[in-house]
Structure 1
Amino acid sequence: MGYFVNVEQGVNLFVEDINPSASKTIVFLHGWPLNHEQFEYQYDVLPSMGYRCIGIDWRGFGKSDRPIHGYNFDRLADDIHAVVKSLQLTNFTLAGHSTGGAIAIRYATRHNAYGLSRLILIDAAAPTGFTQETANRLLTETLNDRPKMMQGVTDTFFFQYISAPFSNWFNGLGLQAAGWSTAAIINTLRDEKLDTDLPKITVPTLIVHGVHDKLVPFKQAQELNEAIKNSHLVPFHYSGHGLFWEEREKFNELIKQFVG
């Protein structure tokens, strides 16, 4: 079921809550510039295995409200904290993809792993995000031809073949976001770093990363593995930035093993 949770005066986030009666909960944080629907191929499977799957659209993305402000890691982590408190979640697993992985890291450190038992980082945009050059290019494209920008992201996202209908669907996810929030996150990924957060993570952490990732190089996953205590890195040899779809069976099984 879907509903809205208030996280700040005038700002409500959309939450997709699947199998809410299950005893084990996984909260999914999407990547830029997508929304919770990117995890469709997890929602199709994991709830039938007995998991409660919660997908959250960040502010400015998907079905959530689109304020002009609040697109830094602290505020985005605070939004997640507000949802967690509202839903009274405890002992849950937080799974973040790309920029969602960066937000998950900031949540774990800024809020002292509130309610958190495990962390899953999926092609996480950490400890660094976009380079100055990449950010400037994406920002120019976003502010002048956002559909072209999104098509370029899709074209470099996957290592395996995707069909034209899948590409169209994926592009649509990115274009549901507001233009201003899409641009604001580019600046955040350029300017904010997470190096000092990593040693503060205390919960068991699973790091999964496509070795053919062209958006966030695999070496960053190795850096995360070295910096985060009690972390385990699993490379995905047939994936780019979209292992949640490209090797979905392997990914879903890993989640099952890690969460228990």
Structure 2
Amino acid sequence: MTALPRRHAITVMTGIGAIVAGLPAQAVAKPAAPKRPAMITARDGTRLYFRDWGEGRPVVFLAGWGLPSECWAYQAAELSEQGLRCIAYDRRGHGRSDAPWKGYDYDSLADDLAAVLEQLDLRDVVLVAHSMAGGEVVRYFSRHGGARVSKVLLLAPLDPCPAHKADNPTGLPPEMFEAFRTHVLMRDYPRWLEENARPFVTPQTSAEMMDWIRGLMLETPIKALVECNRAATTADLRPEIPNVKVPMLVIQGDKDASTPLETSGKRYAALAPNAQLIVYEGAPHGLMFTHIERLNADILAFAKGA
């Protein structure tokens, strides 16, 4: 998927009160500290849902096109037990975040990322971005400088210049992307998901896992899908990639049917000044679902490295 590419107790208050009244003062539990709200407010007022697990160096996960933060479930659950603070948020229009009518361009999405980092006061951050989210990270560095970020991991990034241009002969004609939005997304997105689910994963991926992934993506409004696809396929991020001067790790499979390794992962690795590329043999686009153990180990090593 181009950039295919969501889970009574009845209390008798008088009895509780009598029990508490009979306890010594030191035995009465203190009220729990108030929890942080699970919403970030973006610059335009859009509310962005996030989850925040663990302690240690903050790792912020950005999901790919059409996917909510829940797609990182297998990374956050394990890595939060390995000394990392795992924060994943829903892009606007995805998951439990607000779905406004506008604001799906890369500038707005990069500003949303800035709002997450600033309102949680995160520093020394490792960003982990899948597919089109790589563009959000690049644009964040262009617009905000990236002072809060120490490392970037791009997972199966989308081609930074998907459309055909005179200096980009491998790109696809822009009218093909517009036809996809008009005749597929706006007509029968569920069918397209069904037809493209298998290439997104591996032959060993269970039918149940595929159903779960499709379910996550079917929750995303068509408006958000169309506008995010437009933002990703009309962008030319090649001049901006050198702005990401922090260490960058690019991970991609050589069987990625959504975005070819030659024009995506390898292109990012060549344009970023401090990048390393790791190729997973036989791996598809949905690496967070198909290569959980290996990917988690690579994220952990990268995040905890100097």
- TM-score, reference length from structure 2: 0.80
For residues 15-53 of structure 1, the C-alpha deviation after alignment (integer angstroms, 9 at most, x for no partner) is 11111xx12110000001111111111012101101110
| SS of residue paired to 2:81 | helix
Which of 30, 44, 51 is equivalent to 2:63? 30
For residues 104-139 of structure 1, the C-alpha deviation after alignment (integer angstroms, 9 at most, x for no partner) is 121122211130000000001131246332552254
- Structure 1 residue 178 and structure 2 residue 224: aligned? no
1:110-259, aligned counterparts within 5 Å? 110-129=143-162, 131=172, 132=174, 133-219=176-262, 220-259=264-303
1:81 aligned residue: 114
Residue 92 of structure 1, CA deviation: 0.6
Give the letter aligned to residue 49 of structure 1: Q
Report the CA distance shift for 1:80/1:140 in structure 2 as closer, same or farther (over 3 A): same
- CA distance in 1 between counterparts of 2:61 and 2:121 reads 16
Query: Based on CA coordinates, which of the two structures has the bigger radius of gyration?
Result: 2
My pick for the range that moved more, 82-91 or 142-151, is 142-151
- CA distance in 2 between counterparts of 1:4 and 1:153 reads 32
Residue 10 of structure 1, CA deviation: 3.5
| SS of residue paired to 1:233 | strand
Report the CA distance shift for 1:25/1:110 in structure 2 as closer, same or farther (over 3 A): same
For residues 126-170 of structure 1, the C-alpha deviation after alignment (integer angstroms, 9 at most, x for no partner) is 312463325522542111112112223423212343222111110
My pick for the range that moved more, 102-111 or 78-87, is 102-111
Q: Is the 8 A contact 2:43 2:111 kept in 1?
A: no
1:12 aligned residue: 47
In the alignment of these two chains, the number of paired residues is 258
- TM-score, reference length from structure 1: 0.94
- CA distance in 2 between counterparts of 1:2 and 1:18 reads 13
Residue 218 of structure 1, CA deviation: 0.6
| SS of residue paired to 2:224 | helix
- Extract structure 1 runs of 4+ deviating beyond 6 A: none
Q: Which runs of 5+ in 2 are unaligned?
A: 1-35, 164-171
- CA distance in 1 between counterparts of 2:233 and 2:158 reads 11
My pick for the range that moved more, 189-198 or 46-55, is 189-198
- Structure 1 residue 41 and structure 2 residue 74: aligned? yes
Report the CA distance shift for 1:129/1:39 in structure 2 as closer, same or farther (over 3 A): farther
Residue 190 of structure 1, CA deviation: 1.9
Percent of pairs identical after alignment?
28
- CA distance in 1 between counterparts of 2:144 and 2:132 reads 18
- CA distance in 2 between counterparts of 1:15 and 1:185 reads 19
Which of 61, 69, 90 is equivalent to 2:123? 90
Q: Is the 8 A contact 2:138 2:243 kept in 1?
A: no
- Structure 1 residue 62 and structure 2 residue 89: aligned? no
| SS of residue paired to 2:38 | strand
Q: More strand by proportion, 1 or 2?
A: 1
Give the letter aligned to residue 282 of structure 2: Y
RMSD: 1.6
